[in-house]
Structure 1
Amino acid sequence: MMRVMVFLVLLLLTVMIMVGNGEQNGPALLSRDDFPSNFIFGSGTSAYQVEGAAAEDGRSPSVWDTFAHAGYMQGTGDTASDEYHKYKEDVKLMKETGLDAYRFSISWSRLIPDGRGRVNPKALEYYNNLVNELLNHGIKPHVTLFHYDLPQVLEDEYEGWLSPKIVDDFTAYADVCFREFGDRVSHWTTLNEPNVLALLGYDLGFAPPKRCSHPFGNCSRGNSPTEPYIVMHHCLLAHSSAVSLYARKYKAKQQGFIGINVFVYHLIPLTNSTNDIIATRRAQDFYVGWLIEPLYRGDYPKTMRKMVGSKLPKFSRSQSEQLTGSYDFISLNYYAAMYVKDDPHDIPASQRDFRADMFAVVTAADNGLTKSDTLFPVLPSGLRGVLEYFKQSYGNPPIYIHENGFAMPQNGSLYDVRRVKYISDHLENLLIALRNGSNTLGYFTWSFIDAYELLYGYEYSYGLYYVDFGDEDRKRYPRFSARWYSSFLRGRNHTNLMNSSPNLTPFVSTT
């Protein structure tokens, strides 16, 4: 049970109720002008988390609708932040904030309600309007095709990502998106955090489709020791198929870029023992290499092949060739550091899940070095460490930081100085990484507005802008962090903001 609880802590990735190291010192003294002139700054959300309009204009349910309505979450995304109706107001806010880019996802079940085939004209209208509105305000759309919200119809028909049928259906869905929006969208991300999708949805059962097996979780169906590996395998094949399609049909004309997203921790040996150091390397292979090695070298890490054995699927030669180099960029979601301890055991492979397969425990515990009210170690230099790891291990690929943010209770407070400290310190370390040669091209905060968070509903939020979920109109209010980020993006010395009061006036559209 203790091992399961430790792994549970690891995977509660969206709760970052943390106290940053040295938070009383105020934000770092830097501005946009310190970064390269072509560096992209933005913020992001995802479809189910902000759009709402869950049953409007032909949208069909996704697995997240089913999961939320089953009572596993606090509330649902039925209305969420209502961006479906308020996108013009939000784009105006983005312009006023000074964003270069907005990262959002397309709802597969809104665009293609049956999962395949018929395209919903209302969805085409909405996403075309959103893309055009962004471009009209000088904001680049960075579009994610899949952000956890698989059409429920595909889950019901063939168990979604567990079936190889998903590869063709995802590719056909991507084809629609490239065809309809690619003349204006230049940056595509195929999948958001497939490593988290596999572990939360198919090992512990904390997320849809809620599959797991005893003793790793409490689900009515699933197989924790095997299914995460199958899901990741199909995610990789779907990604490379979509990238291949884009290269064949669209890239020459549209001149766009396509990549994939991975959730990352900065992993640190719990002690300086040889065993913990080696265990940390294994954990890197399992958490990052599991997704990135096939894209970089055409196969899973040798460490995983050795330790997972026959549970780890194999790629054919043609699949391996298609996977290798199937990205123009890698996007990272980084929030915190974690500590790794060696964990030798004699559990048979058939009874081991992902964590047990790597013979290591990844934990927030750090021998008391973290403040007592910190659930996860806040280590801004960890972002620099992650970027150095990608530079040294994977040929310094083009990288976008697509998520970086700080959760706080959704209590209406607008003076989120801890969030400002968090973002500022991470930007400072990002700048150091750039000066050390990292090929990072952009940074996006999570999230632009408060969202329906995919593990905690409306209890915690990351938004630069507060959304009053108790108000039928879902009014937006700028937090201190929104004003700080805006000042940063305009190249101003923003330290004087620390002594100012937040703006309590809601944003109201004048259009």
Structure 2
Amino acid sequence: MKLLSNSLMFLPLLALALTAVSSLKYSRNDFPPGFVFGSGTSAYQVEGAADEDGRTPSIWDVFAHAGHSGVAAGNVACDQYHKYKEDVKLMADMGLEAYRFSISWSRLLPSGRGPINPKGLQYYNNLIDELITHGIQPHVTLHHFDLPQALEDEYGGWLSQEIVRDFTAYADTCFKEFGDRVSHWTTINEVNVFALGGYDQGITPPARCSPPFGLNCTKGNSSIEPYIAVHNMLLAHASATILYKQQYKATARVNDFYIGWILHPLVFGDYPETMKTNVGSRLPAFTEEESEQVKGAFDFVGVINYMALYVKDNSSSLKPNLQDFNTDIAVEMTLVGNTSIENEYANTPWSLQQILLYVKETYGNPPVYILENGLSLSLSASLRL
């Protein structure tokens, strides 16, 4: 198979490159200060546990078990599903600063949509937390050649525009569940390679092609399907990107304005970049001496938490000559939960967990005291307690 041959041919070249680098004695000091060293994998390559804890088959499972020459099934693979702690420790021992991995869509959402698989959710939460504990940035890919087979069977997967809706909902789930700790996202891996291998040559899942362009396929049309698949992948990518910018990147801006406004100078010696960009010259600048005075000038962080807010981007509020704190944030916010007058604060205990995680992971895990939290109740409700 051509794809496998190319992969094997790359290995000697890689070895030669590593030898050359070693002889020149390159070190981290030869790279810019912000350069990040990391490694990358895909879910089907490393996770294993292919039929454990609620995971359903992906198109890679079906492809691998169909007996294609030179293709190994990922039933066990590197067994990262069970050995993620050992793997993360190896990364830390190597000095890696980032790890790019993909989420198995069918492990998180076994039907491709609908209810979350609790075991799958727990695995990715555990992996992300383990990476952060070891100072390694998690970089997440949403789709790496492994569409849930359920969606392939139902409507043809990437050949149908129905996939745009389901991919966006899947992305929304990932952003919502992991976005408090993950800042680096890739939507779809190797769009062109996936389309050509899967829909033109038939040498990768879902193994669709037509003669004489591809061989040994039982279905497909090499003349048109690669273009349809890429078209739908672009639409899905755009939909997920818009969702992220409107609902989740806006949330990061709110955190910068409400929390970073205070903590960023205390921890890093300066205001968040989002504030400096949106507020501009109206935001006072720290001198170098002031920055050193402010940085580290605290013993603990006091958290007061009563509510959670839904956030939606509203960049149109950034209007010249009509600016204050609320317009600078450029979002629309609504209260989560009960918004009645009798209950001004919503009962969202999970929001306290989220803010504690945010402070821990964004500001270096400082000592935290929970100074206030709770919810507002009417007198009658209080008496019932």
TM range (shorter): 0.5 to 0.7
Q: Give the C-alpha shift of residue 208 in structure 1.
A: 0.8
By percentage of residues, which structure has more helix?
2
Equivalent residues of 1:147, 1:192 under 8 A apart: yes
Q: Which residue of 2 aligns with 1:122?
A: 119
Instruction: Find out whether 1:46 has 2:34 as its counterpart.
Output: no
Instruction: Find out whether 1:175 has 2:172 as its counterpart.
Output: yes
Provide closer, same or farther for how the CA distance between residues 173 and 19 of structure 1 changes in structure 2, counting only shifts above 3 A.
Answer: closer
How do 1:2-41 residues align onto structure 2 when only pairs under 5 Å count?
9=2, 13-15=6-8, 16-19=10-13, 27-41=23-37
Taking every aligned residue pair, what percent have the same amino acid on both sides?
A: 64
Equivalent residues of 1:100, 1:139 under 8 A apart: yes
By percentage of residues, which structure has more strand?
1
Equivalent residues of 1:186, 1:254 under 8 A apart: no
Which deviations, in whole Å up to 9, do the C-alpha atoms of 1:250-283 show, x marking residues without a partner?
1022369xxxxxxxxxxxxxxxxxxxxxxxxxxx
Q: Structure 1: which 5+ runs fail to align?
A: 1-7, 257-511
Equivalent residues of 1:213, 1:223 under 8 A apart: yes
Q: Which residue of 2 aligns with 1:65?
A: 61
Which residue identity is paired with 1:56? Answer: E
Aligned partners of 1:177, 1:84: CA distance in 2, in Å?
18
Which deviations, in whole Å up to 9, do the C-alpha atoms of 1:146-174 show, x marking residues without a partner?
01100000000011001011111000000
Q: Which residue of 2 aligns with 1:235?
A: 233
Q: Which residue of 2 aligns with 1:325?
A: none
Which deviations, in whole Å up to 9, do the C-alpha atoms of 1:471-500 show, x marking residues without a partner?
xxxxxxxxxxxxxxxxxxxxxxxxxxxxxx
Q: Give the C-alpha shift of residue 22 in structure 1.
A: 8.4
TM value normalised by structure 2: 0.62
Aligned partners of 1:81, 1:10: CA distance in 2, in Å?
21
How do 1:241-252 residues align onto structure 2 when only pairs under 5 Å count?
241-252=239-250
Q: Which residue of 2 aligns with 1:100?
A: 97
RCO higher in structure (CA 8 A, sep ≥6): 1
How do 1:94-173 residues align onto structure 2 when only pairs under 5 Å count?
94-173=91-170
Aligned partners of 2:132, 2:155: CA distance in 1, in Å?
38
Give the match's secondary structure for 2:24. coil
Q: Give the C-alpha shift of residue 30 in structure 1.
A: 1.5
Aligned partners of 2:54, 2:17: CA distance in 1, in Å?
50
Which residue identity is paired with 1:232? Answer: V
TM value normalised by structure 1: 0.47
Q: Give the C-alpha shift of residue 17 in structure 1.
A: 3.8
Aligned partners of 2:186, 2:148: CA distance in 1, in Å?
18
Which deviations, in whole Å up to 9, do the C-alpha atoms of 1:267-317 show, x marking residues without a partner?
xxxxxxxxxxxxxxxxxxxxxxxxxxxxxxxxxxxxxxxxxxxxxxxxxxx
Aligned partners of 1:24, 1:112: CA distance in 2, in Å?
43
Aligned partners of 1:241, 1:159: CA distance in 2, in Å?
19
Q: Give the C-alpha shift of residue 115 in structure 1.
A: 0.5
Aligned partners of 2:127, 2:33: CA distance in 1, in Å?
26
Aligned partners of 2:18, 2:248: CA distance in 1, in Å?
47
Which residue identity is paired with 1:49? Answer: Q
Q: Give the C-alpha shift of residue 35 in structure 1.
A: 1.0
How many residue pairs align between the two structures? 249
Aligned partners of 2:253, 2:203: CA distance in 1, in Å?
39
Equivalent residues of 1:62, 1:109 under 8 A apart: yes
Which deviations, in whole Å up to 9, do the C-alpha atoms of 1:398-438 show, x marking residues without a partner?
xxxxxxxxxxxxxxxxxxxxxxxxxxxxxxxxxxxxxxxxx
- The two structures, once aligned, show a CA RMSD in angstroms of 2.0
Provide closer, same or farther for how the CA distance between residues 22 and 118 of structure 1 changes in structure 2, counting only shifts above 3 A.
Answer: closer
Provide closer, same or farther for how the CA distance between residues 225 and 33 of structure 1 changes in structure 2, counting only shifts above 3 A.
Answer: same
Aligned partners of 1:74, 1:160: CA distance in 2, in Å?
22
Aligned partners of 1:148, 1:75: CA distance in 2, in Å?
15
